[in-house]
């Protein structure tokens, strides 16, 4: 047996601990600090001569010089297998509900619990036979996890072609029971279990090829789907000052987005918001499956008062779980809230390491870390030609709400869509506060280019006229310009804005968006109105707005819906006919 490699603490500064050792040390390996009865998890982040610098994933209170450090030789990994769905983990994949059972109200440090329950038995059905040849990522069999067929795959880290020397028959197995034996080209055999481990900071690449994101991901938020669409396998970011509604937007997306699985990484944000998600999701039915939303959700929760270093690992834990489900041919959406907190965690550590700071004291490697995180998104063709995707949407909390700061700028370089929230819009209670004048998307949505452009144009024109009106006043504005101004405002009010407290208006499915957008395009954006005065035009649009609000909250294709539609059309025609 190999002797444990150990070291001794020589320096403590916040959550950074230096340990002197006389053995070799592996960069990014996990180490444990022994403090009385407690074992505190830490990660080697720098090695200098015989001193290893560790970031500690726990509070360092009470640690002493000369305390022992044990190196494990393993990188920080997560356990992947059936039982992840519906669970709530911290940044190190400790299941929080089980921690609560064990420790009560508080998160006691140094307590770690296996993320997956070893004893649970799963109904395994093999899909491969002995003597078949497989590669890493190939499906060996499946178990049923909630509503999904959870495939058990060849461990992602194995290389080359492997012979199946044995595979378990259909039956019930727990996580400890081997279900297959594989032999590699060197004749070495590997046992396969229902679960496998994977280091979080390394992307899972056991697929055939990475594809261009093409299919739109429907979020049922009209602004996003119609004007600033996101594709499956794409990336987008939501920067915004505090109070602009980033988290609400993420919560709504996590509820309504048309994907198979949603991974929520609550990274360094308020605990209260996570609580809302984790207490309400079990009671909200997914309209598509009729099952609780929690069945398709994994929550990684490392809120702002939990240890900072674990905040850094939480986004990696989340993306690794997302990649795992992608390997099964599922569409996964990862929502990270907020990537700024993750960046700040890097900054705190960089400061303690006394590295030369970059802009706003963020480390110089900030950009490359952000880029490599978002690059883990993507739509992929698997070995069996099925398509799976991971879409990443990250919020950013820029200091002072100023988008010129390093995290926002580094993110904008690598994402495919930008949903910028503005203080002006949220102050005016225009939700979602995605500012249509600054946001952009490189993806193709389901609204035709011509109609989409007309929408953008109306908003731009309206904003121009509004600016001008501030200088020359309403009386100095021509009637035509004034009507354009009202059109844009109207489009903003009834289409871009969505009432999150109205059951119907809260989420608009694809066909309804297409229908309403066409309706607005044909009846309001395109025609010229023949109002005789500004007063009359204002009254007309006020009336229109009120009718439309009712229309937005009426059930699709109901009697109410058709009646309101007729009423609106009638009103529009009245003012478009040449008298």
Residues of span 270-329 touching another protein by CB under 8 A: 270-272, 274-276, 278-280, 301, 303-306, 308
Nearest approach in angstroms of CB 99 to another protein is: 6
- Tell me which of 100, 165, 169, 555 binds another protein, using CB under 8 A: 100
CA 377 vs. chain centroid, Å, equals 10
Distance, in Å, from the CA atom of 21 to the CA atom of 9, rounded to the nearest integer, reads: 9
| 290 versus 400: smaller Cβ distance to another protein | 400
Q: Which is nearer to another protein, 61 or 579 (CB)?
A: 61
Three-state SS for 393? strand
**Contact yes or no for 517/225 (Cβ under 8 A):** no
Q: Mask of contacts with another protein, 493-522, x by CB under 8 A?
A: --------x---------------------
Residues 356-385 that bind another protein (CB under 8 A): 357, 360-361
Q: What is the four-CA torsion angle of 101, 104, 107, 108, rounded to 10 degrees?
A: -100
The site map against another protein for 237-256 (x = CB under 8 A) is ----xxx-------------
Tokens of 255: 């509820």
Q: Which of residues 141-200 bind another protein (CB under 8 A)?
A: none
Residue 546 is a binding residue for another protein (CB under 8 A): yes
Residue 274 CB, nearest distance to another protein (Å)? 5
* Nearest approach, Cβ of residue 448 and another protein (Å): 30
Nearer to another protein, 103 or 573 (CB): 103
Regarding beta strands 122-126 and 38-48, do their DSSP bridges make them parallel or antiparallel, or are they unpaired? Answer: unpaired
Residues 121-140 that bind another protein (CB under 8 A): none
Q: Which stretch binds another protein (CB under 8 A): 156-164, 175-183, 328-336, 340-348?
A: 340-348
Query: What secondary structure letter does DSSP report for 564?
Result: H
Smallest distance, Å, CB 164 to another protein?
A: 41
CB 415 → another protein: shortest distance, Å?
21
Contact 295, 284 (CB under 8 A): no
Please say which residue, 266 or 459, places its beta carbon nearer to another protein.
266
Count of Cβ atoms closer than 10 Å to residue 449 Cβ:
9
Q: Give the nearest distance from C-beta 499 to another protein in angstroms.
A: 9
Cβ at position 8, least distance to another protein in Å: 11
Please answer whether residues 403 and 229 qualify as being in contact, where contact means their C-beta atoms are separated by less than 8 angstroms. no
- Residue where the block lists tokens 């939990």: 306
**Peptide bond preceding 432: is omega within 30 degrees of 0, i.e. cis?**
yes
Cβ neighbour number for residue 54 with a 10 Å cutoff: 29
The secondary structure of residue 290, as a DSSP letter, is S
| Of 333, 324, 298, residue with least CA distance to 224 | 333
* CA-based end-to-end distance of the chain: 97
Pick from 165, 171, 161: nearest CA to 191 = 165
Q: Where are the alpha helices (DSSP H) in 430-502?
A: 449-472, 479-491
Secondary structure of 1-49 in HEC code, one letter for each residue: CCCCEEEEEEEEECCEEEEEECCCCCCCEEEEEEECCEEEEEEEEEEEC
Residue 59 CA, distance from chain mean position: 27
Q: What is the dihedral of CA 434, 437, 441, 446, to 10 degrees?
A: 80
Asked if residue 73 lies in contact with residue 16, where contact means CB atoms within 8 angstroms, the answer is no
**Residue written as tokens 């500690």?**
56
Nearer to another protein, 323 or 337 (CB): 337
Among 30, 99, 377, 454, interactor with another protein by CB under 8 A: 99
Q: Which stretch binds another protein (CB under 8 A): 177-185, 452-460, 510-518, 536-544?
A: 536-544
**Three-state SS for 160?**
coil
What does the block give as tokens for 271?
A: 């605990």
Minimal distance in Å, beta carbon 347 to another protein? 5
Say whether residue 463 binds another protein (CB under 8 A): no
Only one residue has tokens 């996003």, namely 224
Q: Which of 462, 341, 318 is nearest to 397 (CA)?
A: 341
Interface with another protein (CB under 8 A), residue from 23, 73, 74, 103? 103
Structure tokens at 267: 């990274």
What stretch of H or E contains 300?
strand 297-302
**CB nearer another protein, residue 326 or residue 347:** 347
Q: How far apart are CB 217 and another protein at their closest, in Å?
A: 26
Rg (CA), the chain: 27
Site pattern 15..54 for another protein (x: CB under 8 A):
----------------------------------------
Question: Which position among 6, 59, 72, 289 is part of the footprint of another protein (CB under 8 A)?
Answer: 59
Q: Taking contact as CB under 8 A, which single stretch among the options 60-68, 166-174, 182-190, 442-450 is the one that binds another protein?
A: 60-68
Residue position matching structure tokens 């990862």 = 334
Stretch that binds another protein, among 452-460, 543-551, 554-562, 565-573 (CB under 8 A): 543-551
Interacting span for another protein (CB under 8 A) from 93-101, 194-202, 219-227, 438-446: 93-101
Q: Rule CB under 8 A: say whether 354 interacts with another protein.
A: yes
Distance of CA 142 to the CA centre of its chain: 26
In the complex, minimum distance from the CB of residue 395 to another protein, in angstroms, rounded to a whole number = 11
Minimum Å distance from CB 552 to another protein?
Answer: 11
Which lies closer to another protein via its Cβ, residue 311 or residue 452?
311
**Positions 392 through 451 that interact with another protein (CB under 8 A):** 397, 399-402, 427-429
Kindly state the number of chain residues that form the binding site for another protein, as judged by CB under 8 A. Answer: 76
Element (H, E) at 141: strand 139-145
CB of 374 to another protein, least distance (A): 22
User: Which of 43, 323, 348, 492 is in the footprint of another protein by CB under 8 A?
Assistant: 348
66 binds another protein (CB under 8 A): yes
- Diameter of the chain measured on Cα atoms: 97
Tell the smallest beta-carbon distance from residue 252 to another protein (Å): 13
- The yes or no reply on residue 93 touching another protein (CB under 8 A) is no
């Amino acid at each position: 047996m190999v002797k444990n490699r150990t070291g001794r603490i020589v320096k403590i500064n916040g959550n950074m601990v230096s340990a002197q050792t006389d053995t070799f040390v592996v960069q990014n390996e996990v180490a444990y600090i022994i403090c009385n009865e407690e074992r505190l998890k830490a990660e080697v982040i720098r090695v200098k001569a015989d001193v290893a610098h560790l970031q500690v994933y726990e509070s360092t209170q009470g640690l002493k010089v000369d305390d022992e450090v044990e190196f494990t030789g393993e990188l920080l990994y997560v356990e992947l297998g059936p039982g992840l769905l519906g669970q709530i983990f911290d940044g190190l994949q400790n299941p929080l509900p089980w921690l609560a059972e064990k420790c009560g109200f508080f998160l006691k440090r140094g307590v770690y619990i296996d993320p997956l329950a070893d004893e649970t038995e799963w109904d395994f059905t093999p899909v491969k036979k002995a003597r078949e040849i497989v590669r890493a990522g190939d499906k060996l069999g499946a178990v049923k996890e909630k509503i999904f067929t959870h495939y058990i795959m060849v461990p992602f880290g194995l290389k080359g072609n492997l012979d199946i020397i044995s595979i378990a028959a259909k039956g019930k197995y727990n996580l400890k029971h081997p279900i297959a034996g594989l032999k590699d080209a060197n004749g070495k055999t590997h046992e396969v279990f229902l679960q496998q481990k994977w280091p979080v900071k390394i992307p899972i690449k056991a697929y055939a090829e990475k594809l261009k994101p093409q299919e739109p991901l429907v979020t049922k938020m009209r602004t996003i789907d119609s004007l600033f669409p996101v594709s499956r396998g794409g990336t987008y970011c939501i920067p915004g000052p505090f109070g602009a509604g980033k988290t609400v937007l993420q919560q709504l997306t996590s509820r309504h987005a048309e994907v198979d699985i949603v991974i929520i990484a609550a990274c360094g944000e308020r605990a209260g918001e996570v609580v809302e998600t984790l207490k309400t999701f079990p009671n909200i039915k997914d309209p598509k499956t009729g099952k609780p939303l929690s069945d398709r959700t994994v929550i990684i929760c490392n809120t702002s008062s939990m240890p900072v270093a674990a905040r850094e690992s939480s986004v990696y834990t989340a993306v690794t779980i997302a990649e795992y489900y992608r390997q099964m041919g599922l569409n996964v959406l990862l929502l990270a809230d907020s990537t700024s907190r993750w960046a700040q965690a890097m900054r705190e550590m960089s400061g303690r390491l006394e590295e030369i700071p970059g802009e706003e004291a963020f480390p110089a490697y900030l950009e490359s870390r952000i880029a490599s995180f978002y690059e883990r998104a993507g739509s992929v063709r698997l070995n069996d030609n099925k398509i799976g995707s991971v879409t990443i949407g990250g919020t950013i909390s820029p200091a002072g709400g100023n988008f010129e700061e390093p995290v926002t700028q580094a993110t904008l370089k690598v994402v495919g869509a930008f949903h910028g929230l503005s203080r002006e819009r949220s102050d005016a209670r225009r939700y979602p506060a995605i500012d249509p004048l600054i946001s952009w998307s490189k993806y193709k949505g389901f609204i035709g280019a011509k109609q989409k452009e007309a929408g953008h144009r109306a908003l731009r024109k309206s904003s121009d006229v509004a600016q001008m009106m501030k200088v020359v006043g309403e009386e100095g504005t021509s009637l035509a310009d004034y009507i354009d101004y009202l059109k844009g405002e109207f489009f903003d009010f009834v289409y871009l804005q969505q009432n999150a407290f109205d059951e119907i208006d809260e989420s608009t499915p694809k066909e309804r968006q297409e229908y309403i957008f066409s309706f607005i395009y044909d009846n309001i954006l395109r025609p010229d109105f023949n109002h005789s005065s500004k007063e009359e035009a204002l009254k007309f649009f006020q009336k229109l707005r009120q009718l439309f609000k009712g229309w937005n909250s009426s059930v699709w294709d109901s009697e109410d819906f058709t009646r309101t539609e007729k009423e609106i059309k009638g009103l529009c025609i009245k003012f478009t006919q040449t008298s």
